[in-house]
Structure 1
Amino acid sequence: MSAKPPALLLVNLGSPDSPQTADVRRYLREFLSDRRVIEAPRAIWWFVLHGIILPFRSPRSAKAYASIWDADSGEAPLKQITRRQAEGLREVFGDAVRVDWAMRYGQPSIAARLHALMAEGHERIVIFPLYPQYSATTTATVVDEVFRVLAGMRHQPTLRFVPPYYDHPAYIDALAESVQAAMAGLDWRPQRIIASYHGLPKTCVEKGDPYERHCMETSRLLKARLNLPDEMLLTTFQSRLGRAEWLQPYTDETLRRLAEEGVENLLVITPAFAADCLETLEEIAIAGRETFLAHGGENYAVVPCLNATPTGLAMLATLARENMCGWVS
């Protein structure tokens, strides 16, 4: 057995190197070229991606990234928070675990961090995809990339993967605590709570992807944990791309409908995201607020992701420790 302690590699989706259009375009090209993310025939999709999506979406996405970009660090919030999560777990585990982090798309790459950990002598590595609910478009892409890297290694590490944690008691408890803390800080009471998850084309679920089922189970468990009536917490899906049908109900349409039906006070939580990012900070906190208020809503608040809060770190540590059984006491 290696004398070096095991390593824990946190992996999140990624972000562009800057909010400039060229960097956003490069990031989107890598992301949307993944066969797991877009399952369209390659020849057709190449022309759609390079002829339509990248030329038109890149400037719009760059503007959205600019609205949330941290000018002091020069980084997107997702990278900042993932780094802080790794730093927080280093404090939790001390010298017993080497904690590192990577991005599935962009930098630091999974390949670079795996090679670095092996070069340091860490031959036992736990991969932690930071996606609570499994989807082939997220979790599976991490697994694919890890094994692609290993295929080129003569000396391969022993690997474990943290499984999806959509129904783990530690995760549900952490979500519930974050909702309760957010509500305690409001001077108004929500009439509805929306649990907004990242969207997925409906065809993916029809082919066997368990993502929708995982999302619904997270909502069910969270609702029970908070002791909410059925009509109080609504599950919706955001961030759709293209004209195909995605999982419904759509978040933006639900925000509009609730406001028009007379709901004045709304709280939104985003349980599919382990760290705040473009989809939570811009799409939900900024654009979502504008939609709700423009159609008659009065009060709107978003529960921050678990991020690197003490509650979030304790949850991540619990999951990591469970998957290092026999490696770490």
Structure 2
Amino acid sequence: MPANRPDHAPADHPRLPRRRVGILLANLGTPEATSYWPMRRYLSEFLSDKRVIDYPAWKWQPILQGIILSIRPFKSGKNYATIWNNEKNESPLMTITRDQTAKFAQRAQAAYGDEVMVDFAMRYGKPNIKTVARKMQEAGCDRILFFPLYPQYAAPTTATANDQMFRALMEMNWQPALRTVPAYFEDATYLDALTASVKQAYEKLPNRPKKLVISYHGVPERYLLAGDPYHCQCQKTTRLLAERLGWEAGEVMTSFQSKFGPEKWVGPATVELVADLAKQGVDDIAVVSPAFAADCIETLEEIQGEIAEAFEAAGGKSFTYIPCLNDRDDHMDALFGIAARELAGWLQC
């Protein structure tokens, strides 16, 4: 967008970019490659975040840098390699987030014209939040709507993304005004898209699954006891989805995945729940993961790998994974509608 002199400014006043609003979509992040050093850099940044692992640095960092990061990058790299987008040489999360951003930008252009700039960033890895926020500020965005793509709020996801955006402002002399999008787990349009995805998946199956397991990323139980609303918002997401589906309460079950470390996490654990179901004779299930706005390592590798294998090893016969909402049009309509609501007073459609 061409730069202009401010109104009533003298002829020698420097040209400034035209004022506009930035909409910055944010997701968790991704390594740049599956080999050891890219994986190590990514895991080091991720697991050094105090929002993710809140142990004292003097205790945690020697364990992380000396033991975990000597071993885990090899295992994680192999897991990522099974789902890697080799054509674009990037993780599926990167591909999907870029596609989401393109569709979101189309909607923003149709609604607001050139008054908005839409981009995306990752909390860990690249493109990083500070770089993209600075790019928006330099492009004339004096107001930024920051949109963490997490339906349910949690300190290790939404809060750490917001933290990083605030850190970006701390390094700017001329700070844009900032708004952050709150959790949207009970937004009607999001729930409608989620409901439609489940119904459409079931319509394609030869037999109706006996159970729908709704698997969320887990957190340590002490986060819940300390007041983090994530667990409660997950439970409410399940209830609202079941109500929209019109199913009996027993057909839908909530569980949590991706446990890390020795302490007690919220449960039940998805990998254990599906095995128990199979042992009880529930041999046909579907799994959906509404905590993720885009398919990633936790869904494409963990659910369809480790969790599916646990179900089948225990006697399960039919395991169906229902993809995340990704760049479905109803999902993108929902996300844009949420953003438009949060932009009230700044912009009008």
User: Is the pair's TM-score, using the shorter chain for normalization, greater than 0.5?
Assistant: yes
Q: Report the Cα offset of residue 71 of structure 1.
A: 0.4
Amino acid at match of 2:24: L
Query: Pick from 258, 278, 288: which aligns with 2:307?
Result: 288
Q: Which runs of 5+ in 1 are unaligned?
A: none
- Structure 1 counterpart of 2:160: 141
Q: CA deviation at 1:253?
A: 0.2
Aligned length: 329
Which sections of structure 2, spanning at least 5 residues, go unmatched?
1-5, 7-16
- Please give the residue correspondences for 1:134-213 in structure 2 after superposition, counting only pairs within 5 Å: 134-213=153-232
Counterpart AA for 1:85: Q
Separation (CA, whole Å) in 2 of partners of 1:185 and 1:5 = 44
- Taking only the aligned residue pairs, the percentage that are identical comes to 43
Find the aligned partners of 1:23 and 1:254 in 2 and give their Cα distance: 34
The whole-number CA distance in structure 1 between the counterparts of 2:180 and 2:233 is 18
* Alpha-carbon distance between aligned partners in 2 of 1:294 and 1:311, rounded to the nearest angstrom: 36
Task: Tell me what 1:5 maps to.
Answer: 20
Q: What CA distance in whole angstroms lies between the structure 2 residues aligned with 1:114 and 1:328?
A: 23
Give, in angstroms, the shift of residue 100 of structure 1.
0.3
| Structure 2 letter corresponding to 1:196 | S
- 3-state secondary structure, aligned to 2:24: strand
Aligned match of 1:270:
289
**Residue in 2 aligned with 1:22?**
37
What letter matches 1:26 in structure 2? R
Deviations 1:153-174 (A, max 9, x none): 1100011111101111111111
Deviation, structure 1 residue 3: 4.3
Looking at structure 2, the residues matched to 109 and 320 of structure 1 have their Cα atoms a distance apart, in angstroms, of: 21
Q: How much has 1:294 moved relative to structure 2?
A: 1.6
> Within 2, Cα distance between the matches of 1:252 and 1:286?
10
Aligned mate of 1:80, from 74, 92, 95: 95
Residue 313 of structure 1: aligned partner? 332
Pair 1:324 & 2:343 matched: yes
Correspondence 1:35 to 2:77 = no
Give the drift of 1:48. 1.5
CA displacement, residues 35-82 of structure 1 (integer Å, 9 cap, x when unaligned): 111111110001121122212221111110000001010000101111
- Note the C-alpha offset of 1:293: 1.3
- The partner residue of 1:219 within 223, 238, 250 is 238
Tell which has more relative contact order, 1 or 2 (C-alpha 8 A, sep 6+): 1
TM-score, normalising length from structure 2?
0.92
> Is 1:44 equivalent to 2:59 in the alignment?
yes
The one-letter code of the counterpart of 1:124 is: R
1:67 to 70, 78, 82: 82
Please list, as runs of the form range in 1=range in 2, the aligned pairs for 1:246-265 lying within 5 A after superposition.
246-265=265-284
Q: Could you list the per-position Cα deviations for residues 239-295 of structure 1 after superposition, in whole angstroms to 9, with x for gaps in the alignment?
A: 010111101100000111011110111100001000000000000012222111121
Partner of 2:125: 106
**1:121 Cα offset (Å):** 0.6
Structure number, greater radius of gyration: 2
Residue type at the aligned position of 1:283: E
TM-score, normalised by the number of residues in structure 1: 0.98
Aligned to 2:145: 126
Letter in 1 for 2:348: V
Task: Give distance in 2, aligned partners of 1:30 and 1:179.
Answer: 35
CA distance in 2, matches of 1:220, 1:42: 39
Superposition misfits of 4+ residues, deviation over 4 angstroms: none
In the aligned structure 2, how far is the partner of 1:122 from the partner of 1:97?
8
Question: How far apart are the structure 1 equivalents of 2:222 and 2:307?
Answer: 26
Given candidates 98, 101, 107, the residue that maps to 1:92 is 107
1:98-139 CA-to-partner distances (Å, cap 9, x unmatched) read: 110000000000001001011111111100000111111111
Q: Distance in 2 between matches of 1:268 and 1:97?
A: 37
CA-based RMSD of the aligned residues comes to 1.2
Which one is further off, 103-112 or 90-99?
90-99
